[in-house]
Amino acid sequence: MRTKRIFAAAALAGALLTSLPLLAEPLTATPAPAPTSATVTPNLMGQLSLFSPAAMLAQSAAPAQTASKVSAGNGAALGDDEDADGDGMPDSGVSAVAALANDTSDLRKTLIGMAMQLRDIRYVRGGHDPSTGFDCSGFVRYVFAHAVGLELPTNSASQFVAGLNVNRGDMKPGDLVFFRTAGKRGQGRVSHVGIYIANGQFIHSPSRGKTVRVDSLDQSYWAQRFAGAKRPGALARS
């Protein structure tokens, strides 16, 4: 009798042990605790790993490549001109703009009209487009190319050599005026150019920190550095 009781007790204990996993199953459905920073970080890293490193590098490199292209394309090809030295240079241009004479040719009027539309565009060394800015020769080249379809040389020194000599008293709207702004005052090489308007006034892109504007040849800064006037071939008979 006693032996039977022992076997019965053992059987009951075995049944309880085998039922424990079933009792424990509901415990696994208990909501997980709120995520902490320790659990979020691995998840974020897993999401970031889905992005392509090559694509991300290409995107980050694109602006740098664009800037490099502008610098190389503008600066190397067009950036021979130096900034005006700024010593005594007026901070602003003339307040009134000279009117063109009635006998000014349509070609010259078109040139001046295009140039005047570009006022207030900032100076950028090597710049040759209104979207990025102009240096002096880039401004002149843009005006002639878009107003009359004439391609001028790439910097002020080569534009000076290519043009036809014009006496100061014979200048007409659209002629080019040149200055020696590098080196000793009035003694350096030709390094700046503008477009003559009328009545001693010219329009140009002066120097860093300034914008396209109209100045007077009679202002002491420009008078001391004036190198001469030239007439591009396309204007020779105009």
Domain count, the chain: 2
User: Going by C-beta distance under 8 Å and a sequence separation of 6 or more, which residues neighbour residue 177?
Assistant: 171, 193, 194, 195, 196, 202, 217, 226, 228, 229
Same domain for 70 and 124, yes or no, is no
Spatial distance between the Cα atoms of 19 and 168, rounded to a whole number of angstroms: 112
Confidence of residue 227 (pLDDT cuts 50, 70, 90): very high
Same domain for 19 and 117, yes or no, is no
Same domain for 98 and 206, yes or no, is yes
Same domain for 47 and 88, yes or no, is no
What share of the chain in percent tops pLDDT 70? 61
CA distance to 87, 136, 217, 219, 221, per residue, from 224 (Å): 12, 18, 9, 9, 6
Same domain for 97 and 56, yes or no, is no
Q: Is 50 exceeded by the pLDDT of residue 140?
A: yes
Say if residues 135 and 125 touch (Cβ distance below 8 Å).
Answer: yes
Same domain for 93 and 70, yes or no, is no
Same domain for 63 and 92, yes or no, is no
Q: What is the mean pLDDT of residues 109-128?
A: 96
Query: What pLDDT does residue 89 have?
Result: 77
Same domain for 127 and 68, yes or no, is no
Query: What pLDDT does residue 186 have?
Result: 59
Closest CA to 164 of 155, 154, 152: 152
Query: What pLDDT does residue 133 have?
Result: 97
Q: Enumerate the active-site residues.
A: 136, 192, 204
Same domain for 153 and 230, yes or no, is yes
What's the pLDDT tens digit per position in 147-166? 999 999 999 999 999 989 99
- Domain C-terminal end among 60, 77, 94: 77
Q: Is 60 exceeded by the pLDDT of residue 236?
A: yes
Q: Is 50 exceeded by the pLDDT of residue 199?
A: yes
Say if residues 137 and 193 touch (Cβ distance below 8 Å).
Answer: yes
Q: What is the mean pLDDT of residues 216-234?
A: 93
Q: Is 90 exceeded by the pLDDT of residue 177?
A: yes
Query: What pLDDT does residue 195 have?
Result: 98
What's the pLDDT tens digit per position in 38-97? 443 333 333 333 333 333 323 323 333 333 233 333 333 444 555 555 566 778 888 889
Instruction: Quote the pTM value.
Output: 0.66
Query: What pLDDT does residue 188 have?
Result: 76
State the residue range of the domain holding 89. Answer: 81-235
Q: What is the mean pLDDT of the chain?
A: 74
Same domain for 97 and 183, yes or no, is yes
- Domain C-terminal end among 40, 55, 77: 77
Same domain for 130 and 54, yes or no, is no
- Domain C-terminal end among 77, 107, 135: 77
The CA R_g of the chain, rounded to the nearest whole Å, is 39
Query: What pLDDT does residue 86 have?
Result: 56
Same domain for 47 and 146, yes or no, is no
Q: Is 70 exceeded by the pLDDT of residue 231?
A: yes
Residue 129: CB atoms within 10 Å: 14
Query: What pLDDT does residue 28 have?
Result: 46
CATH number at residue 153: 3.90.1720.10
- For the chain, the three-class secondary structure string (H helix, E strand, C coil) is CHHHHHHHHHHHHHHHHHHHHHHHHHHHHCCCCCCCHHHHHHHHHHHHCCCCHHHHHHHHHHHHHHHHHHHHHHHHHHCCCCCCCCCCCCCCCCCCCCCCCCCCCHHHHHHHHHHHHCCCCEECCCCEECCCEECHHHHHHHHHHHHHCCCCCCCHHHHHHHCEEECHHHCCCCCEEEECCCCCCCCCCCCEEEEEEECCEEEECCCCCCECEEEECCCHHHHHHEEEEEECHHHCCC
